[in-house]
Structure formats: structure tokens, C-alpha cells
Amino acid sequence: MERKGEMSDEEVLSALMRGDLKMHEIERAVGGDVPRAVELRRAFVERKTGKHLRNIGNFSFDAEMAMRRNIENMIGAAQIPMGVAGPLLCKGDASGEFFIPLATTEGALVASVNRGCAAINRSGGAYAFVIADGMTRAPVFRANSVQDAINAVNFIRDNEDKMREIAESTSKHLKLKEIQPFFVGRNVFLRFVCETGDAMGMNMVTIATDEVSSFIEEHTSLRSIAISGNVCVDKKPSAVNLILGRGKTVIADVFLRDDVVEDVLKTTKDAMFEVVMRKCFVGSAFSSSLGFNAHFANIIAAIFIATGQDVAHTVEGSLGFTTAEVEEGGIHFAVTLPSLQVGTVGGGTSLGTQREALDIMGVSGSGSPEGSNARKFAAIVACAVLAGEISLIAAISARHLTQAHMRLNR
């Protein structure tokens, strides 16, 4: 309902059509009424395109909260089917049985992960451990010379406590672990590594890094050129993240007994091992892939969408290794995820459906102690990735992959 001094709906639409009003100005024109602004923006797009956006306009989350935290020029929402795999028995940094929410449009993915869960459960569960934890940001500085660059880095090392004090003053949740220096000519990259509690923490680390960078400029000859110098490395495939890690570094493993491989996965351990060797190792090496695995990205992207993670971080999450070793009585499977960026607070995790998906796994919000929910979530993700790898590799080894997609009409 419009109030005195506000524009009517038709006045807003006419002004938009004439170009007198910009889409981002609609909220101001209607007195801050966000739901009404969303409807008007969508109506404008409908009028301009001649298309009816009924489904885009159908959503359940709080539009005002989303506009404050997650989106600009909102017109509605994209709906993606969500399924659930499991329960999956996890041990280690996540202990218990967990259902895994997966949002995807790829038919057969949930069914495949579900079969992997069954195989893991029949084998007594999977262990997962977070072995490293540190979100990164790496600004690039210009030095006057290589000697100046070295002198500046020596100053940074000598004043590490001061750097930590400045960084940690920007957030009660942030802990600066280290600053990793890299040189290319007179370019200096300083890779800040921080713990960020239960948040994924990218913005938190950026703010802290910016404050420390100002201090460095004041006391050295270095000049900051970009707050991100692409050595972080954010949302791009890189050997740096594969080797040094970013976010959570997680390993999950399970020993699959021979009877489980035969009864649940319908194949043999020797056939699975050969797929891992020739596909994940030789094929990945030949193609110079960063990470040797079957389809980490499939499971990570589906969980990220379901739980409100930054989906672009699937790039780093997909870097990793699947290993298999044939042993007496079965086969040992493991996945190593060096660069898994997840959080249970902040970003999209506060949206209604995403928060509920986190609730399914018991990891929504802040943990006690701080950071425990994010670590638990990372361990669950690693176990789910392990389930997905096991099932796909088994299907390929038994030549069931194509039949499975055809049977499910995919």
C-alpha cells in the first residue's frame, strides 16, 4: 500500500520504462518497501521482455534480508530440486549418522551418492579429519627494487606480533596464523592465512588484510597494488591451493570389504582400483589436471547450493585426490580435499531453505567452541564426496554408468 509522497506502482513502472528511474532506485521510490520493490522490478522486466515470470516470483525466503545481505536488483529466486542421500555414518571430526542435502538438476547424482553411503555404512562408516584450517587473502605490493622487497619482508617477519594485533582488532572471530611471502621480481605477494570461526570468512580476512596492508605501506617502501593479487587463490584453479590448502583441508577414508564391493557396488575391488589408476591418476596426469579425482565438483556444488555456500568456491573444492589401495579382504578408499571453503554462518547460510539444509546435518549457526560447526560440516562434506567417488568409480568399473542414466530417463 503506497503512502503519501510515494510513487504509485504505475508511476514507478512508467519512470522505469522512460529511463527516468534506475532499477536499484525502486526501493527509495516506494519508501523502502522491499517486497513491493521486488514485485515492481519483476513487473518491469516482464513489461520489457513480454514474458510472464510467475515461477521466478514464487519463493519463501525473506526478501528484505536477502536484499541486505545477498543480492541486488532482486526480482525473485531460482529454484533447484533438492534431494537427500543417506544416512551416512561418519566418524572423526563429524560423529554420527547424517542425511546429506543435495541441490542439483543432474539426474542420478543423488541416487549415486546414496549408494556410496550404503557401501560406507556396510563397511562400518567413514573417518574424516580436518587437518588444516586457514582462509587466505594475498595482496600484491610493488617494491622499488628486489633489495627493498626483501627488506620489507624482513620487517614484516620482525613485527609479526604487531601485524597479528592489527588483523585481529578487525574481528573478534579472526585469528591471524601466518603471512606467507612470495617474490616475483619486485612484486611481493603476502598470503595472509587466518582462522575465521564458523564463517567461511572471505570478507573477514579481506578487511583484516586491508588494515595490515596500510600499516605495511606506512613503515616500508612497499606500495599496495591490489588487495587480491591472485595468489590467495580465490575462485580459480591453482597449484598453490592444491599444495598449501585454503579454507579447510580434509581427508576422509574407508575400508570397503569384498562382500560390500560385490553386494552393494556390483563390481570387484580390482576393477575399481584399475579405474582409479587409469582414470584418476594416468588420465588426470596426461591432461595436466589440478587434482586427480572422478567428480568432486558434483557433490560439492550440490551441497554448496543446498546450504548457502559461495558456489564459485566449487572451483577450489574440486581440487583433490582420490586414492585406492587393494588389501586383503577389501580395498582402502580415501579422498583428500586440500581447499574446501565452507561456513555455517554468514553469506547465504541464513536464508530459509539453506539454513534448514544445514539443520538437517546439525551444523546451522555458530558452534561451541567457535569453529566446531564449520569443521564438522567440512568433515561431513568430505565423507559425502567419498561416497560419491566410490559409487561413480564402481559404476564405471562395472560399466553401469550409461545404463543407470538410461534407466532413470536422464
Nearest Cα to 155, choosing from 208, 217, 201?
A: 217
Using DSSP, state whether 374 is helix, strand or coil. Answer: helix
**Of residues 310, 332, 356, 400, which has the active-site annotation?**
310
106 is catalytic: yes
State the CB neighbour count (10 A cutoff) for residue 172. Answer: 9
Instruction: Give the relative orientation of helices 352-360 and 296-307 as an angle to the nearest 10 degrees.
Output: 120
Instruction: Estimate the crossing angle of helix 109-122 against helix 372-397, to 10 degrees.
Output: 100
Q: Which stretch of DSSP H or E encloses residue 401?
A: helix 401-407
Q: Which amino acid is at 231?
A: V
* 77 vs 38: CA distance, rounded Å: 11
Q: How far apart are CA 265 and CA 324, in angstroms?
A: 15
- Catalytic residue, candidates 106, 217, 258, 274: 106
Length of the chain equals: 410
- DSSP β-bridge partners for residue 187: 142, 184
Q: Which residues contact 284 (CB under 8 A, 6 or more apart)?
A: 291, 292, 293
> Any residues with CB less than 8 A from the CB of 326 and at least 6 apart, and which?
269, 270, 273
| Rounded CA separation 317/310 (Å) | 11
> Is there a catalytic annotation at residue 25?
no
The per-residue DSSP string of 235-303 comes to SS--HHHHHH--EEEEEEEEEEEHHHHHHTS-S-HHHHHHHIIIIIIIIHHHTT-SSB-S-HHHHHHHH
Q: Give how far Cα 214 sits from Cα of 55, 171, 175, 191, 209, Å.
A: 47, 17, 18, 15, 9
Out of 2, 46, 356, 405, the active site residue is 405
Residue 258 annotated as catalytic: no
- The answer to whether the Cα torsion of 379, 385, 388, 391 is positive or negative is negative
| Residues catalogued as catalytic | 106, 310, 405
